[in-house]
């Protein structure tokens, strides 16, 4: 299961990370003076739970232990952020030394609070040039204010997944590259029936699974914060333009109320009853996991993938997208930091380890060498997401001291816009900026 499919809600995750940050502040007195060649056992906690994912982790750990016979790794799977928080607060020998977290948005809190150790000294000591190992976008979301307190452990790229049979029936010969083409194709693919639909071209509302404001803002190239670190939603026209384009698509496909009524008939995002699987939608904004999940669900049509469309005036940038992923860090309170670094270094920078893990759980590799490795299993559908991850203008949401709270604030505003409840979008964005700045100042 992809990271964003975890059952913990975004708000609950952020609340847990707030508690984690508070609990760990001031506990970073441990120093990396342990001998990494001594016999030691590390506690490694991660969030994966599906049998195939757990097996893939165990296989990677087995290869690590073979290469580092003095280090044993005690692996604990299916660990939520609540459980991690409680363990780090309690401390002691059973607390995790190394943590893998799905909550990329909380990196700012990890770094700002001192919950995780800064990995820059470890990188320098090992002679690892992070700028030559990791794509630029992944480095941006794994550090905060120069503190590289986490490193990327695989990534997710977001694009367009579609029903090729529906495209052919509608006379569409290729996926849309610009937003105007996307809007036109979505209308062509929509089959209305009274106050509902037999099929919808795409579910454009922001409650529609992975159709999030942050995904679309990446296509417009919005800059969330200005040079002073202040929220920039009103200052950068990209955000207002994105919201206007999305609202226009909502209106052209039947309006918010009609679309939301139809959305209520959708199956769970992570089940075989996903609306793309069942033919209720012809296109879906989604990640690299969707084609494989659709095939596992037994779809009878051919799956196509493509980058998300870009604004018409940015056609030359087609191919970019939103990128996020899992992060890995070391407890700042741990007494085995040098040994812990050996595990983090192996899992995040060793090309064969990264490729093997990516192949096993069908996620995008997180190093430049792994992305280009001949050992990487690449189907035509998967290659789309590899290319998005490598695109120089792909982007992510920047780390902040309040974690992902600023994103939720923006998302709440976007909900109001698509409903038609916001009369003055520029003024609303300015108010949203003020709220974001207040929240971040409090977090700092």
Q: What is the CATH number of the domain that holds 58?
A: 3.40.190.10
Tell whether 178 and 151 lie within a shared domain. Answer: no
For residues 147 and 266, state if they share a domain: no
Is 11 in the same domain as 119? yes
Domain count, the chain: 2
Q: Is residue 353 part of a domain?
A: yes
Does 300 fall in a domain?
A: yes
Which regions of the chain are under pLDDT 50? 1-29
**Cα 256 to Cα 282: distance, rounded to the nearest angstrom:** 18
| Whether residue 303 is found in the same domain as residue 261 | yes
From 298, 317, 336, the end of a domain falls on 317
CB 101 within 8 A of CB 84: yes
Please report whether residue 403 resides in a domain: no
Residue 204 located in a structural domain: yes
The C-alpha atoms of residue 292 and residue 298 are separated, in whole angstroms, by 10
Compute and round to an integer the Cα radius of gyration of the chain. Answer: 22
29 and 112 inside one domain? yes
The residue segments making up the domain with residue 88 are 3-156+323-390
Q: How many CB atoms lie within 10 A of CB 254?
A: 19
Query: Which pLDDT score, from 0 to 100, does residue 113 have?
Result: 82
pLDDT digits (tens, 9 = 90+) for 69-118: 999 999 999 887 678 767 766 777 788 999 998 878 878 888 888 888 99
Query: pLDDT at position 31, please?
Result: 60
- The reply to whether 44 and 84 lie within a common domain is yes
Regarding whether 77 and 117 lie in a shared domain, the answer is yes
Whole-angstrom Cα distance, residue 435 to residue 406? Answer: 8
Coil, strand or helix: which one is 231? Answer: strand
Query: Counting runs of H as helices and runs of E as strands, what totals does the chain give?
Result: 19, 9
Domain shared by 141 and 188, yes or no: no
Q: Domain end: 390, 418, 435, which one?
A: 390
Residues 271 and 378 grouped into a single domain: no
**What is the pLDDT at residue 30?**
53
* Residue 395 falls inside a structural domain: no
Which helix (H) or strand (E) element contains residue 414? helix 405-419
* Residues 309 and 165 reside in one and the same domain: yes
Q: Are 162 and 152 in a shared domain?
A: no
Q: Is residue 436 one of the residues assigned to a domain?
A: no
Point out the domain boundary residue: 290, 317, 344.
317
Note whether 357 and 308 are same-domain residues. no
pTM of the entire predicted model: 0.88
Residue 419 lies in a domain: no
Nearest CA to 2 among 362, 360, 291? 362
Task: With respect to residue 414, please indicate whether it lies within any of the assigned structural domains.
Answer: no
């Amino acid at each position: 299961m992809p990271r964003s499919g975890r059952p913990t809600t975004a708000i609950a995750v952020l609340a847990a990370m707030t508690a984690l940050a508070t609990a760990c502040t001031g506990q970073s007195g441990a120093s990396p003076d342990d001998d990494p060649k001594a016999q030691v056992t590390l506690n490694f906690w991660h969030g994966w739970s599906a049998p195939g994912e757990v097996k893939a982790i165990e296989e990677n750990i087995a290869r690590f232990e073979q290469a580092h016979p003095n280090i044993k790794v005690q692996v604990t799977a299916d660990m939520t952020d609540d459980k991690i928080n409680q363990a780090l607060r309690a401390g002691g020998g059973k607390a995790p030394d190394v943590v893998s977290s799905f909550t990329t948005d909380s990196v700012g809190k990890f770094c700002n609070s001192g919950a995780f150790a800064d990995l820059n000294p470890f990188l320098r000591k090992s002679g690892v040039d992070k700028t030559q190992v990791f794509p630029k976008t992944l480095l941006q979301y794994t550090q905060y204010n120069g503190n590289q307190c986490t490193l990327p452990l695989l990534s997710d790229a977001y694009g367009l997944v579609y029903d090729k049979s529906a495209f052919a029936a509608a006379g569409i010969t290729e996926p849309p590259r610009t937003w105007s083409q996307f809007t036109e194709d979505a209308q062509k693919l929509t089959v209305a029936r009274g106050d509902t639909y037999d099929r919808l071209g795409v579910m454009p509302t922001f409650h529609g699974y992975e159709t999030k404001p942050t995904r679309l803002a990446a296509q417009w190239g919005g800059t969330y914060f200005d040079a002073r670190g202040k929220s920039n939603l009103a200052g950068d026209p990209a955000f207002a333009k994105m919201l206007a384009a999305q609202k226009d698509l909502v209106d052209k496909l039947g309006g918010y109320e009609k679309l939301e009524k139809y959305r209520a008939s959708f199956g769970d995002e992570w089940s075989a009853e996903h609306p793309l699987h069942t033919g209720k939608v012809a296109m879906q904004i989604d990640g690299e996991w969707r084609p494989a999940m659709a095939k596992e669900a037994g779809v009878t049509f051919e799956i196509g993938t493509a980058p998300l469309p870009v604004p018409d005036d940015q056609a030359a940038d087609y191919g970019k997208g939103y990128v996020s992923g899992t992060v890995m860090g070391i407890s700042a309170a741990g007494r085995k930091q040098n040994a812990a670094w050996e595990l983090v270094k192996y899992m995040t920078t060793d090309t064969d380890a990264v490729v093997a893990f990516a192949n096993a759980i069908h996620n995008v590799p997180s190093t430049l060498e792994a992305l280009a490795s001949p050992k990487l299993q690449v189907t035509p559908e998967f290659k789309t997401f590899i290319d998005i991850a490598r695109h120089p203008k792909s982007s992510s949401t920047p780390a902040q001291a309040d974690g992902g709270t600023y994103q939720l604030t923006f998302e709440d505003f976007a909900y109001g816009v698509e409903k038609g409840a916001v009369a003055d979008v520029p003024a609303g964005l300015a108010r949203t900026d003020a709220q974001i700045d207040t929240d971040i100042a409090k977090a700092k």
